[in-house]
């Protein structure tokens, strides 16, 4: 398949808007094993300094969060409970915000995804969670800092998502009032949304 990579300027949207705009776009990873890709169907916005659920809360600047203080559209990859998770850096230079990609709907390289995710029994189990999708697409900590607007790891034009649901983010119970912010977005009714 041929994908039309989104321009760098696409990522210059406010974080909440970007989290919604990413739905329906295609996350693509080209590796020596082959190409894997999927429609983004679920995201979460993290508003940095003022968001207790964000790694960069209170402008916390560490080796891990450094990329979030840089230009929009780069990959913030980090490990959580042994799983690699990826975020799209947003907010502009010096304002460390990001959008977590929580789930994708596979469209290319499905046999390769099964090989990487041996325990998956059906397509909907391959990429229906942030740790699952990185494993299926072979995205690792090595992708930290890479731009999402050029190969091998990039986001491309996809399809329009008409119905978007919103609710609280997942797995952030210890983040005060931030745990209730309705900053999780997903394509309504899509079976690949995480449970």
What mean pLDDT comes out for the span 175-195?
Answer: 89
Question: pLDDT value at position 162?
Answer: 94
Question: pLDDT value at position 58?
Answer: 66
* Predicted confidence (pLDDT) at residue 123 exceeds the cutoff of 80: yes
**pTM, to two decimals:** 0.94
Band of the pLDDT at 48, cuts 50, 70, 90? confident
* Predicted confidence (pLDDT) at residue 192 exceeds the cutoff of 80: yes
Question: pLDDT value at position 17?
Answer: 98
52-87 confidence digits (pLDDT tens): 777 777 677 777 788 988 999 999 999 887 899 999
**Whole-angstrom distance, CA of residue 139 vs CA of residue 127:** 12
Mean pLDDT of the chain: 92
Q: Please compute, for residue 54, the number of CA atoms within 13 A of its CA located in the half-sphere on the CB side.
A: 31
Residue whose pair of structure tokens reads 């010096």 in the numeric block: 94
Question: pLDDT value at position 195?
Answer: 79
Quick one: what percent of the chain has pLDDT higher than 70?
A: 98
96-110 confidence digits (pLDDT tens): 899 999 999 999 999
Cβ atoms of 96 and 15 within 8 Å: the answer is no
**Whole-angstrom distance, CA of residue 17 vs CA of residue 30:** 27
């Amino acid at each position: 398949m041929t994908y039309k990579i989104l321009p760098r300027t696409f990522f210059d949207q406010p974080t909440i808007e970007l989290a919604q705009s990413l739905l329906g776009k295609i996350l693509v990873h080209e590796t020596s094993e082959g190409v894997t890709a999927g429609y983004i169907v679920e995201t979460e916005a993290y508003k940095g300094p003022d968001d207790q659920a964000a790694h960069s809360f209170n402008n916390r600047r560490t080796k891990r969060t450094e990329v979030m203080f840089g230009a929009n559209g780069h990959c913030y990859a980090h490990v959580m409970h042994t799983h690699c998770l990826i975020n799209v850096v947003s907010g502009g230079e010096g304002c460390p915000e990001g959008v977590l990609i929580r789930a994708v709907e596979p469209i290319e390289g499905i046999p390769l995804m099964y090989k990487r995710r041996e325990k998956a029994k059906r397509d909907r189990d391959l990429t229906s969670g942030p740790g699952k999708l990185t494993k299926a697409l072979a995205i690792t900590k090595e992708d930290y800092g890479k731009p999402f607007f050029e190969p091998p790891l990039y986001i491309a034009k996809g399809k329009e998502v008409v119905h978007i649901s919103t609710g609280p983010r997942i797995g952030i119970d210890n983040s005060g009032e931030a745990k209730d912010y309705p900053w999780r977005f997903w394509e309504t009714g899509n079976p690949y949304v995480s449970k």
